[in-house]
Amino acid sequence: MKQTQQLKLTQSLKLTPHMKQGLDLLQLNNIDLQQIIDPILRQNPFLIKKDAPVESVTTLQNEETETTWEDFSISLWSPDQEDRFNFSDPFQDTLKQGLQWELNSCFFSEEDRLIAAFIIDALDDQGYLTESFNNLEHLLKPYLPLISKPTIEEVRQKILAIDPYGLASQNLQEFLLCQLPHIACGESIRKLAAILINDYIDFIAKHDRVSLIKNTSYSSKELNDALELIYQLRPRPWIKTSEPLFISPPDLLLEKHHDKWRVSINDNTLSRVYFDKGYYEKMAAACQNQAFFINAYNEARNLLLNMQRRTQTLLKTAQTIVAYQSAYLSGIDELRPLDLSLLSKQTKLHTSTLSRTIKNKLIATPRGVIALKELLSGTSTNDNELSTHTIQALIKQLISEEPPHAPLSDQSIMEILKSCYQIQIARRTVAKYRSSLGILSASLRKKFPVE
């Protein structure tokens, strides 16, 4: 054995601490980010929160971005919005407290929030609105002299659309109808379920299928599918539990301004951070511990830069998603097909960056507080213009309408989608979507038919 020496030249990419912190902050929601910021604020003398005087905020320019440090704010905070809701205690022991806390973090105006507060206060223990509109109008008159019943109803409709859906319903029928649009099923079954809830609620409550068959023109199979859907719905808007209610606050707020969607950071869940120029200048002239001075300066600079980049990336990504899914957010249409690759082309950001950006982020929309990633719906193929959710709904509808004695195989479903809907997908894709819907295979459905 002979020992030799070799000289090898290699290239490797390593993340600096500054870059690693930027990636870590990007995937955090506002709550987790605030927990990271708080210890740094206590230890770094150059960082101050939003209550700092304006003259102490620095206007030094960064050499790389030519942006003032004053612009490194994480949000568009204004003192008038400071008391919109109390973020310090998100755990709510009662339904009304939890709803007040969530509504204040959503898109209501000051007048809407006042009306919503009275509506929530009028809810009974099950979440139904038992107070009449006349009484609500009388109670609101001293605060809003021009209040009217249509305005109260408009705010109530907004509350109905907030998760959990159907709160402030006036009766069982309205509450069940509020839940139907949010259940994954075929459109024909959804429409039939709505008809049965509107016209035959007494028979449904008594589980009287015989009377339903006699009084309607629908087949036994159609009625069974619709009833199966209805019995999945919750009977009451609110069910008491022993656990306290926890409502996760949204990271983003969505509202319409002059018929255009506008996305903003929820400034009530994240402190605005400044660089204290006055203290920095004093320390620069008198500090004898240069190592501590330089480390604190670099830490402050890196944190503010990374927070600004996180905000810009999050707003850019959310605005692009909202613009693409505008019809869905307005309640007009279903989700359009949108995946990370398509989103990457529109935002000019890498898919890994987008994945970190939408992770654990919530957005308050007219359809309620939802996860940002729920607005993404992948496509089955590059040429297919239907979203995954739409194809899954079609597969579920085809299986619900199949003969019990001759269930459709995955191959048959693939051929029907190809011939009737011009959807090109593989048999294994059909099997994957069917399994994700919790539907048995054709052989098991034939062996264990749904009654």
Same CATH fold assignment for domains 91-171+239-246 and 388-447: yes
Number of helices (H), then strands (E), in the chain: 20, 8
Q: Which of 329, 313, 436, 314 is nearest to 375 (CA)?
A: 329
- Residues 139 and 166: their CA atoms lie apart, in Å, by 23
Q: What is the pLDDT of residue 102?
A: 62
CATH class of 91-171+239-246: mainly alpha
Q: What is the pLDDT of residue 222?
A: 86
Q: What is the pLDDT of residue 57?
A: 39
Q: What is the pLDDT of residue 161?
A: 79
CA distances from 9 to 6, 12, 64, 83 (A): 10, 10, 31, 60
Residue pair 57/274 in contact by the 8 Å Cβ criterion? yes
The identity of residue 211, as a single letter, is S
Q: What is the pLDDT of residue 86?
A: 38
The identity of residue 220, as a single letter, is S
| Domain chopping of the chain, boundaries | 18-52+262-372, 91-171+239-246, 184-230, 388-447
Q: What is the pLDDT of residue 106?
A: 57
Q: What is the pLDDT of residue 64?
A: 40
Q: Which CATH fold topology does 388-447 show?
A: Arc Repressor Mutant, subunit A (1.10.10)
Q: What is the pLDDT of residue 306?
A: 92
Q: Crossing angle of helices 17-26/30-43, nearest 10°?
A: 140
Give per-10-residue mean pLDDT for the chain (451 aa): 82 81 90 90 85 39 38 34 37 53 61 85 84 88 88 88 82 90 81 90 84 85 87 78 58 85 86 84 77 87 92 94 87 79 90 90 84 74 60 85 87 89 86 84 78 51
